[in-house]
Amino acid sequence: MTTFTKLNDQDAPSISIHPTRRISKINPNIYAGFTEHMGRCIYGGIYDPGNKLSDENGFRIDVIEALKDLNIPVVRYPGGNFMATYHWIDGVGPRENRPSRPELAWLGTETNQFGTDEFMKWCEVLGTEPYLCLNFGTGTLDEALAWVEYCNGTRDTYYANLRRKNGREEPYNVKYWALGNEVWGPWQVEQMTQEAYAHKAYQWAKALKLLDPSLVLILCGQTGFASWDHYTLKHCLLPAHSELSTSAVPLIDMHSIHLYTTSDSHLPNVTAPLAGERAIEITSSLIDLAMIENNVPPSQPRPTICFDEWNVWDPIRAEGSKGAEESYTLSDALAVAVWLNVFVRKSKDVGMACIAQSVNVISPLMTSPDGITKQTTWWPLYLFSKYMRGWTISTHLASATYEGETSPKWVRSVKDTPWLDVSATLGEDGYVNVAVVNISEDRDLETRLDGPTGQVAVFTVTGDNLAVSNMNGKQEVGVAESTWEATGSYVFPKHSFTLLRWKAE
């Protein structure tokens, strides 16, 4: 949590950090990933059989080793919009028997050479947990129940035995399941009204938890600031043993929201993730409202927010049907750092956040037949995932603010936009970590810091200018490491992301 005091332009900023004031535990799942059958995310991304860089499973070794550095706890699969016409049964069993199908989300052909068992194996190799999305478009409840049985079944039943026949004796124990994806959108096959979705989602949830009460079920929200979110939470976030269900456990565990941000201009681009922060705040209030109005008892766990698609994405610059391969700039890297600050600041409410996507598709990691490229956005993600864990701690920022146009425009009226964007954590190792983005294009900011003691490790991400990219054969943006003795003020360089780290007293 970061509180804020607005200063005049001529006043020097200050940051006060209080390690003894723990605000909320950070769920490691805020550093989750996302892999969809879209563009080169799966084929040519994580799965590239025959390539000299791939292992015996066809998995790209260089991709796995890079992603291991992020310590990704959960990966969402297989969509995304792809999910609305995907039938999981097509992607299991002998590969020579798997059908190719027209794919309607991104207008391609799905060969089904990579499916459930391959994804589960990839998760095991990576050391991450799977999160599966159910087909709410052309899928049926029977199909969804069968998939859960295939993945988690332990009894002598048809789909559990099919998994065994396909070479996996023990269940996968998939915990996280999404009740559809973006079914509110006109781009969806089987787009639904909020009324139709809420009815279907609750009835599916009831059946799924009868089969496996341990599932964590994730409701399909919209942006968090839409009437869809209000309606679906109101009608699905009900007490256990409600009039619609005799279940002893709550049926809805998380509420999903999605948001992508972008702008061609730097300052609107780097402040745009604050729309995501407001989305979290509004969704949190809608959850409270549903619990109050529906008389959900305090003994029932309060759902958290699953921000399972977020990133910087310009769909005109990187068209989805053409693979959505962005070439990210330093400005985009700073926007990603602000996004990550948002998730740390709002750790009380966010139970999961999945960057979309993990490889090639609007991704910080790009592959070629000969290797990988870590885009500008990789470096803030790497530093956050490595250090910004543990507890969010009390932090106060005093700073002047950017007063220009924002994207979306409504951010200007609902959020402050200080020149420094800040979050702070206390790790399990006893280290304080402070993440600071100086969004200014041209001004270094000399800042008083209250809290640091002794020698401070400094990690800086910046570049010669805001337009530099790592996609032109040269790494223009990376991490520079240094130290600071915590004396006097600290100067945060223009257009930079800085992580300061020291041992708490």
* Residues 463, 465: Cα–Cα separation, whole Å: 5
Cα separation, 365 vs 20, whole angstroms:
37
Residue 324: half-sphere exposure toward Cβ, Cα within 13 Å:
24
For the annotated catalytic residues, the residue numbers are 182, 309
Return the SS3 of 67.
helix
C-alpha span between 7 and 25 (Å, rounded): 30
Residues forming beta bridges with residue 352, ordered by sequence position: 306
Per the structure block, which two tokens stand in for 379? 């470096």
Cβ-contact 426, 462 below 8 angstroms: no
Angle at 8 (CA atoms; ends 7, 9), nearest 5 degrees: 120
C-alpha–C-alpha distance, residues 219 and 184, integer Å? 12
CA dist 477 and 430 (Å) reads: 29
Q: Compute the distance between CA of residue 372 and CA of residue 62 in angstroms, rounded to an integer.
A: 7
Side chain identity at residue 76, one-letter code = R
Q: Which residues, listed in sequence order, are joined to residue 103 by a DSSP beta bridge? A: 108
Beta bridge partners of 434: 424, 500
Q: Which of 174, 75, 177 is nearest to 136 (CA)?
A: 177
DSSP alpha helix (H) spans, 212-271: 227-236, 266-271
